[in-house]
Amino acid sequence: MSILIDKDTILKYDKAGPRYTSYPTAPTWSDEVNESVYIEKLKSFGQTDKTLSLYIHIPFCQTLCTYCGCNVVIRPQKEKYGDVYLDHLIREMELIAKHIGTKKTVHQYHWGGGTPTFLTESQIERLFTKTQEYFTLSPTSEIAIEVDPRTTDKAKIRSLRRLGFNRISFGVQDFDANVQEKVNRIQPLDLVADVHAYCRELKFNSINFDLIYGLPGQTAKGFSETIKQVIDLRPDRIALYSYAHVPWLKKHQNKMNTADLPSADQKLDIFLLAREQFLQAGYQAIAMDHFALNDDELAKAFNHGELYRNFMGYTVQPADEYIGLGLTSIGFLENTFVHNIKVLPEYYKVLDEGKLPVERGKILTHDDTVRRWTINVLMCQFQLDKVNFQTIFGTSFDIYFENEQKHLKHCQEEGLLEEVGSTLKVTEIGKIFIRNICMGFDAYLQKKATPQQRFSRTI
């Protein structure tokens, strides 16, 4: 469906705002969560039959892409870096397993980064085998890895598949050589096409490409060429991320010439054209920034209102609890966010002392839980049934969100939301501005100073 949006609307909504991979968002977390709080949560989790998602962060990359907003550590591709990191990561895993006290089944197992394929084949095998010592991976578990095509070859992909990885995601971003040069990431189409074809041959359940719109030098025309090339390859899923420009957090983004960055309306044009191309090619728009082929399980889950979202992205297998291992990783356990240390030498030091590398986090209040649910439902399903809300929380949506009625009314007047019976539905235009809709439910944004210097812009 084509969407026509005027420039004024775009500029009105182009403000700083969270992406809501968590609520409450990370800037509100504090040192109220420390090692002893985490141990207590792990122990009580161990006594339940709740299910688990496990995330492993491998922070290393060989070179730095200048747009990168991830938590990365740049190192030359030498085995010793991975070895030392794995020694510590495995120590962390042992401590976590000891505190849980039972061998939990993992429904969703995800390696992200940085670049997990920075590790050699034998290091990958070492980490995977160790995980199975402490956790059970079931035959139906989602086992996913983020892969940089530039540090992956057929042998590595073959060993990933043999170990049990069944979902694979490639960082692609843009095939345009001019854009690639501007962001310090030279990655020819052939390279991606080869690894993609090989993954198809090995029958990964799902192959995802990450793309970014809003990069320096991008134009709607140029990016539409990339989208054509992506469509020809036909991955099952596409994550089409809006470039998050946060130079106050990621200083290296200053290396880019801001004059090369598309303006908010150019950026939206790039997105809308790409969106249209994917829809025309038989992809379905999924939640905020994803596309999937109709027979992909993500598309099916979205259609059935069974799509969920966490730090690892969208999933069809929601687990009750999440544990993150590794530098900067995030977990969510027993209503508590847990954030690991961000500096590598400190991460090593704390583990060398036999302690868990927890830095901060957030214990959710009841109000946090209610708002987290509301934001998640809007983000994943683009609609919210007030009756469902009442069933879950035992209180009327309109009474609970009395102070938010003005925002909701405004969203309806602006054509972002509509009310059908007891259901709030996000309109086609509203889907593009979903972050802005959700910001109205964010109690911390309402209370606090401007989010200007903490979040990227919503477009």
Site residues, ligand SAM (CB under 6 A): 61, 67-70, 112-113, 115, 146, 148, 171, 173, 210, 212, 241, 243-244
CB under 5 to 8 A by kind: which of ligand SAM, ligand SF4, none does 222 bind?
Answer: none
* Residue at shortest CB range from ligand SAM: 171
The correct pick among 115, 166, 218, 381 for binding ligand SF4 (CB under 6 A) is: 115
- In the complex, what is the shortest distance from the CB of residue 347 to ligand SF4, in angstroms, rounded to a whole number? 17
- In the complex, what is the shortest distance from the CB of residue 234 to ligand SAM, in angstroms, rounded to a whole number? 19
Beta carbons within 10 angstroms of residue 366's beta carbon: 9
- Give me the DSSP letters along 187-232: --HHHHHHHHHHHHHTT-SEEEEEEEES-TT--HHHHHHHHHHHHH
* 208 binds ligand SF4, rule: CB under 6 A: no
CB under 5 to 8 A by kind: which of ligand SAM, ligand SF4, none does 64 bind?
Answer: ligand SF4
* 72 binds ligand SF4, rule: CB under 6 A: yes
Closer to ligand SF4 by Cβ: residue 104 or 167: 167
CB under 5 to 8 A by kind: which of ligand SAM, ligand SF4, none does 210 bind?
Answer: ligand SAM
- In the complex, what is the shortest distance from the CB of residue 241 to ligand SF4, in angstroms, rounded to a whole number? 10
CA atoms lying within 13 Å on the CB side of residue 142: 25
State which H helix or E strand residue 262 sits in.
Answer: none
Alpha carbon separation from 401 to 81, 335, 367, 397 (Å, rounded):
50, 21, 11, 6
The correct pick among 42, 52, 58, 65 for binding ligand SF4 (CB under 6 A) is: 65
- In the complex, what is the shortest distance from the CB of residue 117 to ligand SF4, in angstroms, rounded to a whole number? 10
- In the complex, what is the shortest distance from the CB of residue 225 to ligand SAM, in angstroms, rounded to a whole number? 18
* 187 binds ligand SF4, rule: CB under 6 A: no
Closer to ligand SAM by Cβ: residue 28 or 187: 187
CB under 5 to 8 A by kind: which of ligand SF4, ligand SAM, none does 244 bind?
Answer: ligand SAM
- In the complex, what is the shortest distance from the CB of residue 3 to ligand SAM, in angstroms, rounded to a whole number? 21
Distance CA 41, CA 324 (A): 14
Task: Copy the structure tokens of residue 362.
Answer: 């957030």
CB under 5 to 8 A by kind: which of ligand SAM, ligand SF4, none does 241 bind?
Answer: ligand SAM
- In the complex, what is the shortest distance from the CB of residue 65 to ligand SF4, in angstroms, rounded to a whole number? 3
- Give me the DSSP letters along 51-80: -EEEEEEE-EESS--TT--S--EE--S-HH
- In the complex, what is the shortest distance from the CB of residue 71 to ligand SAM, in angstroms, rounded to a whole number? 9
Q: Which residues are within 8 A (CB) of 413 and not within 5 positions of it... i.e. 6 or more apart?
A: none
Closer to ligand SAM by Cβ: residue 238 or 411: 238
Binding piece for ligand SF4, criterion CB under 6 A, among 49-57, 59-67, 84-92, 280-288: 59-67
- In the complex, what is the shortest distance from the CB of residue 260 to ligand SAM, in angstroms, rounded to a whole number? 15
CB under 5 to 8 A by kind: which of ligand SF4, ligand SAM, none does 298 bind?
Answer: none
Burial class (CB in 10 A: 0-12, 13-18, 19+), 345: exposed
Closer to ligand SAM by Cβ: residue 41 or 110: 110
Distance CA 110, CA 53 (A): 8
**Smallest Cα–Cα separation from 164: which of 115, 127, 197?**
127
Distance CA 149, CA 115 (A): 10
Closer to ligand SAM by Cβ: residue 249 or 387: 249
The residue type at 403: N
229: left (phi over 0), alpha (psi -120 to 50) or beta: alpha
Distance CA 17, CA 21 (A): 12
CB under 5 to 8 A by kind: which of ligand SF4, ligand SAM, none does 260 bind?
Answer: none
SS3 457: strand
Q: Give the 3-state DSSP-derived string for 155-184, with helices as H, strands as E and coil as C.
A: HHHHHHHHHCCCEEEEEEECCCHHHHHHCC
Contact residues for ligand SF4, defined by CB under 6 A:
61, 64-65, 68, 70, 72, 113-115, 148, 171
